[in-house]
Amino acid sequence: MAFPSPLTTIDTVTFEKDGTVSEVEPPPYPEGGFGWVVVVACFFIHFAFYGFIQAWGVYQSAYANTVFPGQISPTVLSLVGTLQPGLRNLLAVVTGVMATIFGFRLMILIGTILSCLGLLLASFVTNPFLLIPTQGILVGIGGALIFTPILSAPSHWFLKRRGLVAGAAISGSGIGGLMWAPLTEKLISGLGIPWSLRIQAIILFVVGIITSFLVQPRLPMVRDSLFSRDTLKGTRKPAFVFLSIVIFMFFLADFIPLFLISAFAIENGATPADGAVAVALINATQAIARLVFGSMADWIGCANALIISMFMSSLVCFVIWIPATTYPVLLVFACTFGLFSGGAMTVAVAIIPEIYGE
């Protein structure tokens, strides 16, 4: 299967309306300007929302060992954490259509309200199973509404440096996770889980409201093209289908180390604070990886960068994590896994326009 070259350009855009087909030249990509404002806004939403989600491992350890010991199985508790990124990805097809119909701003506003509502309701929960509809489903649906706009917006403004700007925006989740993990552990130990959730809901609300007015597409959304023949034809391209399957399979497993490494560390004799450090290390190295792999994708091509990221992420799980029995070895795994796995999301965002078309 031959993949396109790293840089894809478009000469014309074809429009069909009322039986009349016309071709026009699209305006050039700004390669900067207000596009940098969009990138910074997306960075802060990733920082606040998905950095928080990537610190779930700290919450899971606190719920299991302190708040609800013996009241809920680790499997069910893990469901709460996996619902957040899981719904974000599963609903992507629906939210992609919704973003085109309703616009980026409304999607981010509604997603912010739902996510914050889920956290506030979770702060009053006394039955651990109620965490599933609150911190799991509500936060997950809210995150799904936010995810599509902030994932696609930077690519509207850049072509030549698309991998780099995608990495810069998405690195916010890694840097956010680096800060959220120890901050969450401190909030829980000092104020308890209820106030930790409320404080984080306030932070998410402020960031979401402000940035919703800054994340904008470069051109008006073309609603008539949502289910056009050309659009549906693009989804049947073998390269697009293959890529979708590969990305789906990879992200089924990608969050497992992030969510379970804290509990794994505690089971092997580490403290909750040590577990939070392991989570923070994954997030920190993922932030670096998103910038590195973004630049690498612009240089060697998105497909090659994606293969390296996915293969090496899998390899370090087998070589380092499975045989790990001591905390120092676990920290080595956290760093190496983050350095390779962090690039997958960045490159997956940048490769879609190459395979599917602009």
Instruction: Give the model confidence (pLDDT) of 48-83 as tens digits.
Output: 887 777 778 788 888 888 888 878 887 788 888 888
Q: Does the global pTM surpass 0.85?
A: no
| 123-180 residue pLDDT tens | 998 888 999 999 999 999 998 999 888 888 887 777 777 777 877 888 787 788 778 8
| DSSP code at position 11 | S
Better-predicted residue by pLDDT, 95 or 54: 95
- Domains plus CATH for the chain? 29-356 (1.20.1250.20)
Q: Which helix (H) or strand (E) holds 21?
A: strand 20-24
HSE-CB at 106 with a 13 A cutoff on CA atoms is 8
Better-predicted residue by pLDDT, 274 or 118: 118
CA–CA gap between residue 311 and residue 307 (Å, rounded)? 6
Query: Residue 219: what residue type?
Result: L
Bridge partners of residue 17, in order along the sequence: 20
CA–CA gap between residue 295 and residue 274 (Å, rounded)? 32
CA–CA gap between residue 203 and residue 222 (Å, rounded)? 34
Q: What is the pLDDT of residue 343?
A: 82
Segment among 28-37, 75-84, 89-98, 318-327 with least mean pLDDT? 28-37
Two tokens at 350?
């940048």
Q: Is 190 helix (H, G, I), strand (E, B) or coil?
A: helix
Segment among 2-11, 327-336, 347-356 with least mean pLDDT? 2-11
| 253-285 residue pLDDT tens | 887 887 788 878 888 888 878 887 888 888 888
Mean pLDDT across the chain: 80
Q: 16: pLDDT confidence band, cut at 50, 70 and 90?
A: very low
Rg (CA), the chain: 21
CA–CA gap between residue 184 and residue 179 (Å, rounded)? 8
Average pLDDT, integer, range 317-335? 90
CA–CA gap between residue 59 and residue 271 (Å, rounded)? 14
CA–CA gap between residue 339 and residue 78 (Å, rounded)? 24
Please return the burial class of 172, using the count of CB atoms within 10 Å of its CB with bins 0-12, 13-18 and 19+: buried
